[in-house]
């Protein structure tokens, strides 16, 4: 399991650890890891031109000490100081001792203040445009709000230069706790993060700014609390969750999943939800709705009923909503069942909030950003900008487990706890019907006995992986994703 901790938690852990260690030890660990990562990225350190963007906090200190290490290995290192009067003094001294220099600030004694400033800006621009590597030490976990104008200007220059960028701890300008980005932010090729991942490194839009992320262990693990703010499952975690039939299993014991989906207008949604459900571990799939003909002709193993959900026969979990159109009665009937229910697509619009809240069996809601926005009464962009806040708000309003889909998929249990973030997806999954496959798959895992949180996060994991396998660099349809699920399942179990 990969975990991420909030700034507040990291600060507390750092205080505890620092109290046991000599002064500056943590920063030296961070700087050593950072310098090594920079060296790996540029390949040849000797003779390379490295520019450090140095803010007034410890993030700048990390950059300066790492710069000193690179300078000792023969790099030409220039530091741009955003606030020379508040720069990390020890870091700056180390850089200067190692042969590094400062560009841009306090330039050219003797000239007028205006000319000096102009000369400074010119020198900074030139250094950044000619750099082989830019190290972003503007702000780390101490960043507050959007970047200030002088820092934002540097962001523009760095983007123009096209030089590879290594961000120290976090790309400056992104919110460490939420993954939100307000205004200008550094786009890094690599982010070297210390002690633990921060939520922002795993959640879009910030995740995209981070590039690849390299973790440097500074010993924080031993003082971090057991429960993280965010967790990302890995193969081993998902393998432990997946149901495996035993000698005594039969189709009923493995669980029966009911799919109440599709309409005359959208029969395909029913077929796709069933295609996911058949690959999700339940022993049988029951279909209820007007698309029975289409479902059986594609998947003859489906148990089809033309009665409503209440009369369809026993199931261990329901999926309701994909392609359901305006059939509110079916949604209400499913919500009345005393088994776990997954609500997706049209079902999210049709489900009464008070009814969902009052359910005693688990409920898993699986909106995409547009559906989440409609439920919350905000614009879609607002959800995409603030995914973590959105998933929390939805779970609390509905008293349900919520899986928020999109470029970052987040799952939060109705009872709270760590938010699960799925890292396996691919933008190729943004294809019509792929959400229907996911809801069938998650419903099937629910029926086989997983909790709503585990079913949702294991399904997102397998679905993301299946999307990768199906697409493999070329467009794939939702049915291809469903067909790739068994391969993803095997990959996880192996």
Ligand X SMILES: Nc1ncnc2c1ncn2[C@@H]1O[C@H](COP(=O)(O)OP(=O)(O)O)[C@@H](O)[C@H]1O
Site string for ligand NAX, 207-226 (x = CB under 6 A): -----------x--------
Rounded to the nearest angstrom, the gap between the alpha carbon of residue 224 and the centroid of all alpha carbons in its chain is 21
Whether 61 has a binding-site annotation, put simply, is yes
Whether 173 has a binding-site annotation, put simply, is no
> Shortest Cβ distance from residue 322 to ligand X (Å)?
7
> Shortest Cβ distance from residue 12 to ligand NAX (Å)?
11
> Shortest Cβ distance from residue 139 to K ion (Å)?
6
> Shortest Cβ distance from residue 78 to ligand NAX (Å)?
19
Q: Of 187 and 207, which CB lies nearer to ligand X in the complex structure?
A: 207
Q: Which does 136 bind (CB under 5 to 8 A by kind): ligand X, ligand NAX, K ion, none?
A: K ion
**Can residue 172 be called a binding residue for K ion (CB under 5 A)?**
yes
Q: Which does 409 bind (CB under 5 to 8 A by kind): K ion, ligand NAX, ligand X, none?
A: ligand X
CA distance 483 to 461: 15
**Can residue 59 be called a binding residue for ligand NAX (CB under 6 A)?**
yes
Q: Of 154 and 388, which CB lies nearer to ligand X in the complex structure?
A: 388
Window contacting ligand NAX (CB under 6 A); options: 56-64, 276-284, 301-309, 350-358: 56-64
Member of 71, 168, 272, 447 binding K ion (CB under 5 A):
168
CA distance 466 to 375: 29
The SS3 assignment for 412 reads: strand
> Shortest Cβ distance from residue 392 to ligand NAX (Å)?
24
Rounded to the nearest angstrom, the gap between the alpha carbon of residue 97 and the centroid of all alpha carbons in its chain is 41
Residues 123-162 that bind K ion (CB under 5 A): 136
Instruction: Check if the beta carbon of residue 421 is closer than 8 Å to that of residue 253.
Output: no
**Can residue 6 be called a binding residue for ligand NAX (CB under 6 A)?**
no
Residue (of 315, 251, 271) closest to 482 by Cα position:
271
**Can residue 27 be called a binding residue for ligand NAX (CB under 6 A)?**
yes
Sign of the Cα pseudo-torsion (279, 283, 287, 291, in order): positive
**Can residue 18 be called a binding residue for ligand NAX (CB under 6 A)?**
yes
Whether 145 has a binding-site annotation, put simply, is yes
Member of 37, 48, 58, 135 binding ligand NAX (CB under 6 A):
58
Whether 24 has a binding-site annotation, put simply, is no
Contacts of 118 (CB under 8 A, 6+ apart): none
Q: How many residues does the chain have?
A: 494
CA distance 51 to 491: 43
Q: Of 24 and 164, which CB lies nearer to ligand NAX in the complex structure?
A: 24
Residues at the interface with ligand X (CB under 6 A): 345, 368, 405-407, 409, 425-427, 429-430, 432-436, 438, 463
Instruction: Check if the beta carbon of residue 462 is closer than 8 Å to that of residue 492.
Output: yes
Provide the β-strand partners of residue 401.
364
Q: Of 105 and 426, which CB lies nearer to ligand X in the complex structure?
A: 426
Q: Of 58 and 333, which CB lies nearer to ligand NAX in the complex structure?
A: 58
Q: Is the peptide bond before 358 cis (omega within 30 degrees of 0)?
A: no
Rg (CA), the chain: 26
Instruction: Check if the beta carbon of residue 187 is closer than 8 Å to that of residue 171.
Output: yes
The SS3 assignment for 365 reads: strand
> In 95-132, at which residue ranges do the beta strands (DSSP E only) sit?
101-103
Residue/partner pairs of 352-360 with CB below 8 Å, 24 or more apart: 353/397, 353/398, 356/398, 356/399, 356/400, 357/398, 357/399, 357/400, 359/335, 359/400
Whether 323 has a binding-site annotation, put simply, is yes
**Can residue 166 be called a binding residue for K ion (CB under 5 A)?**
no
**Can residue 194 be called a binding residue for ligand NAX (CB under 6 A)?**
yes
Member of 67, 91, 100, 140 binding ligand NAX (CB under 6 A):
140
Instruction: Check if the beta carbon of residue 244 is closer than 8 Å to that of residue 406.
Output: no
Residues making up the annotated binding site for (6S)-NADPHX are 58-62, 140-146, 169, 269, 323, 368, 436
Where along the sequence are the contacts to ligand NAX (CB under 6 A)? Answer: 14, 18, 26-27, 30, 55-60, 62, 139-148, 151, 168-169, 194, 218
């Amino acid at each position: 399991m990969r975990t991420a901790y909030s700034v507040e938690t990291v600060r507390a852990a750092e205080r505890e650890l620092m109290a046991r260690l000599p002064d500056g030890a943590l920063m030296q660990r961070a700087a050593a890891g950072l310098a090594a990562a920079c060296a790996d990225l540029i390949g040849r350190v000797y003779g390379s031109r490295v520019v450090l963007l140095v803010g007034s906090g410890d993030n700048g200190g990390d950059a300066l000490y790492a710069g000193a290490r690179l300078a000792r290995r023969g790099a030409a290192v220039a530091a741009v100081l955003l606030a020379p009067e508040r720069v990390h003094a020890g870091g700056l001294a180390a850089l200067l001792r190692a042969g590094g220099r400062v560009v841009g600030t306090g330039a050219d004694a003797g000239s007028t203040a205006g000319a000096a400033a102009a000369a400074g800006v010119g020198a900074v621009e030139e250094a950044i445009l000619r750099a082989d590597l830019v190290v972003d030490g503007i702000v780390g976990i101490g960043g507050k709000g959007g970047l200030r104008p002088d820092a934002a200007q540097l962001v523009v220059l760095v983007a123009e230069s096209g030089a590879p960028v290594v961000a120290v701890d976090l790309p400056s300008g992104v919110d460490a706790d939420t993954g939100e980005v307000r205004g200008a932010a550094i786009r890094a090729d690599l982010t070297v993060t210390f002690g633990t991942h921060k939520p922002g490194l795993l959640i879009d839009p910030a995740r995209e700014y981070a590039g690849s992320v390299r973790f440097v262990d500074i010993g924080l693990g031993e003082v971090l609390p057991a429960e993280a703010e965010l967790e990302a499952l890995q193969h081993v975690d998902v393998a432990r969750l997946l149901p495996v039939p035993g000698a005594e299993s039969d189709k009923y014991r493995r669980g029966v999943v009911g799919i109440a989906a599709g309409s005359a207008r959208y029969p395909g949604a029913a077929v796709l939800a069933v295609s996911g459900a058949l690959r999700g571990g339940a022993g049988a799939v029951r279909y209820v709705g007007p698309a029975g003909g289409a479902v059986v002709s594609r998947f003859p193993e489906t148990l089809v009923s033309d009665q409503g959900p209440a009369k369809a026969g026993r199931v261990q979990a329901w999926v309701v909503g994909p392609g359901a159109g305006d059939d509110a009665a079916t949604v209400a009937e499913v919500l009345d069942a005393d088994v776990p229910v997954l609500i997706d697509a049209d079902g999210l619009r049709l489900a009464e909030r008070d009814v969902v809240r009052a359910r005693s069996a688990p409920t898993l809601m699986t909106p995409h950003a547009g559906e989440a926005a409609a439920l919350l009464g905000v614009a879609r962009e607002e959800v995409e900008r603030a995914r973590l806040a959105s998933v929390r708000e939805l779970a609390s309003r509905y008293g349900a487990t919520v899986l928020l889909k999109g470029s970052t998929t987040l799952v939060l249990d109705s009872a709270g706890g760590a938010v699960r973030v799925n890292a396996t997806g691919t933008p190729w999954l943004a294809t019509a019907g792929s959400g229907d496959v996911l809801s069938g798959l998650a419903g099937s895992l629910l029926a086989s006995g997983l909790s709503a949180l585990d079913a949702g996060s294991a399904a997102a994991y397998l679905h993301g992986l299946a999307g990768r396998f199906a697409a493999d660099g070329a467009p794939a349809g939702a049915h291809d994703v469903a067909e790739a699920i068994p391969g993803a399942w095997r990959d996880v179990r192996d």
